[in-house]
Amino acid sequence: MRRLLSAFAVTGFLLTGLPSITWAQGQGFTLFSGVRGEDQLPFRFDFGGQTNSTERYRLEIPAKKMKLAVAQFAITYPNYYKGIFDPQDIEVRIKGKKVALSEVKWDKEGKIIQIFPQEPVPAGSKVELVLSNVQNPPNGGMYYFHCQVLSPGDVPLLRYLGTWILSIS
């Protein structure tokens, strides 16, 4: 009887627990990341986040994080991330609408992507940074992408907003 109950318990976990875990892509609960929960930013992969594949990253910034207008977004990433970005295929979206950009710079050596909207993004906006045509790195792993912003007229120091913890498998 105990074996039968154990088998039911394990089967129940597999049938109910795994689909919800795998479906959560980008929204899952991360233990021991070193990033406080309120600093973790949501994201999505459009094509599954597989190594050595072309991908689209949807990096979200919730409205509550956008306390000031933003004149520049800066995304920094770790030295061990060996993916390739297409600066010509990067967008800023507010409520699904593209924001006109004046410039996008990708500094491969400095490991930073700088995005400059033509007009400052208003405070309180829910923002989505869309990086299309990204070539994922050949090695899987956890990659911490940090978001920093510069407000108009601000002292030219980037301010930290949060971190996207990307898991590529």
CA 105 to chain centre: 18
Neighbours of 40 (CB within 10 A): 17
- Dihedrals phi, psi of 131, to nearest 5 degrees: -105, 105
Q: Is residue 29 part of a domain?
A: no
User: Domain span at residue 73?
Assistant: 36-168
Q: Is residue 126 part of a domain?
A: yes
The neighbouring-strand residues paired with 44 are 58
Give me the CATH number covering residue 122. 2.60.40.1290
Q: Is residue 8 part of a domain?
A: no
* pTM (two decimals): 0.79
Number of domains in the chain: 1
Residues sharing a CB contact under 8 Å with residue 99, sequence separation 6 or more, in sequence order: 91, 92, 93, 117, 118, 119, 121
Q: Is residue 48 part of a domain?
A: yes
| Per-residue model confidence as pLDDT tens for the chain (169 residues) | 544 444 444 444 444 443 333 333 444 444 445 666 678 999 999 999 999 999 999 999 999 999 999 999 999 999 999 999 999 999 999 999 999 999 999 999 999 999 999 999 999 999 999 999 999 999 999 999 999 999 998 677 899 999 999 999 9
Q: Is residue 143 part of a domain?
A: yes
Compute the radius of gyration of the chain from its Cα atoms. Answer: 19
Q: Is residue 107 part of a domain?
A: yes
Q: Is residue 63 part of a domain?
A: yes
Q: Is residue 3 part of a domain?
A: no
